[in-house]
Amino acid sequence: MFYGAIEAGGTKVLCGVGLQTGELVDHVSIPTRGPTETIRDIVTYFRSHPVSRLGVASFGPLDLDPRHATYGSITNTPKIAWRGVNFLQSLKNALQLTVFIDTDVNAAILAEYAWGAAAHLTTALYVTIGTGIGGGVLVDRRPVHGLMHPEMGHIGIRKDSSDAFPGICATHVDCLEGLASGPAIAARWQVSSQDLPSDHPAWALEANYLAQAIATYIYVLSPQRIILGGGVMQQTALLPAIRRAVASNLNGYIARRELLTEEIDHYIVPPQLGQLAGLRGGLWLALPSMDMEP
């Protein structure tokens, strides 16, 4: 039995086929263009790679309320051509399959829970810091949706007094994403984040901003582990600096050994599934076992 998986991002769409074990047996990358061309290429892939069910890990915001006529649509994205597109229904109609959908970050935490760094936990958070900043969270082993789904990258943080950069979020200007996403780093320092040396002051500022956000996520969600992924985290000096800043920020308030300096390396961790966490999360969504503990 083969299951299909999609991870739809702003620049590329990964399509893959996998097994119930979580193993991917094939995957391809398709450039993200307008919805018509992109969905046509996805459909072509799955016509030549037949699957029994399909799971979609998508950029958002998404309508994830199954009671709505617009269930599975992309809502107010800055990608204008995709606004209002019912991604779920388009795939169902074209492929005549059972299709499941969730946010890319909810899918990533589901995959890390099923096969990676959040195995055996019940409440865990995945944060991606890249072109944007977003978070997916499991509570009692299930992704949080609520009114819509979390949009964790848009919380307010305190600007450092040394930081004259105004921020780039189109809605909030200087929210976390506006100050600490990859494009914000590039705009502030006039150089791409992957070209900044590990001792550049950019990284201390970045660690400060991300640690503020992580402390807030700990106070609000009380996760058992936090996984940090995304392109900005490729700078390996960043993760230890974030751990130190989170411990300092919490200042001992949450009296749990997991948050002590000696233990925090096991609490704030990199993804185990690397760049394929989102695609494997799509696969997890497609599995009939989704409601069960892996």
Interface residues with its own copies (CB under 8 A) are 61, 75-76, 122-123, 135, 139-140, 142, 144-158, 171-172, 212, 215-224, 249, 251-256, 258
Q: For residue 61, say if its preceding peptide bond is cis, omega within 30 degrees of 0.
A: yes
Q: Which amino acid is located at 2 in the chain?
A: F
Residue 155 Cβ, how far from its own copies at the closest point, in Å? 5
The DSSP code sequence of 231-263 is GGGGSTTHHHHHHHHHHHHHTT-S--GGGSTTT
Q: Which residues pair with 3 in a beta bridge?
A: 18, 53
Compute, in degrees rounded to 10, the torsion defined by CA atoms 90, 27, 139, 144. Answer: -20
Residue 224 Cβ, how far from its own copies at the closest point, in Å? 5
Query: Would you say 123 or 235 has its CB closer to its own copies?
Result: 123
Residue 154 Cβ, how far from its own copies at the closest point, in Å? 5
What does the alpha-carbon distance between residue 269 and residue 238 come to, in Å, rounded to a whole number? Answer: 11
Q: What are the structure tokens assigned to 254, written together? A: 């949450």
Residue 15 Cβ, how far from its own copies at the closest point, in Å? 28
Burial of 151 from C-beta contacts in 10 A (0-12 / 13-18 / 19+):
middle
Residue 134 Cβ, how far from its own copies at the closest point, in Å? 10
Residue 241 Cβ, how far from its own copies at the closest point, in Å? 18
Residue 268 Cβ, how far from its own copies at the closest point, in Å? 12
Query: Would you say 25 or 220 has its CB closer to its own copies?
Result: 220
Q: Are 6 and 95 in contact (CB under 8 A)?
A: no
What does the alpha-carbon distance between residue 167 and residue 178 come to, in Å, rounded to a whole number? Answer: 5
Query: Would you say 46 or 267 has its CB closer to its own copies?
Result: 267
Query: Would you say 45 or 217 has its CB closer to its own copies?
Result: 217
Query: Would you say 21 or 248 has its CB closer to its own copies?
Result: 248
CA atoms in the 13 A half-sphere facing the CB of 129: 30
What is the chain's length? 294
Q: Tell me the CA end-to-end span of the chain in Å, nearest whole number.
A: 18
Query: Would you say 97 or 144 has its CB closer to its own copies?
Result: 144
The CA R_g of the chain, rounded to the nearest whole Å, is 19
Query: Would you say 25 or 254 has its CB closer to its own copies?
Result: 254
Residue 258 Cβ, how far from its own copies at the closest point, in Å? 6
Query: Would you say 22 or 156 has its CB closer to its own copies?
Result: 156
What does the alpha-carbon distance between residue 234 and residue 270 come to, in Å, rounded to a whole number? Answer: 10
- Phi, psi (rounded to 5 degrees) for 25: -100, -15
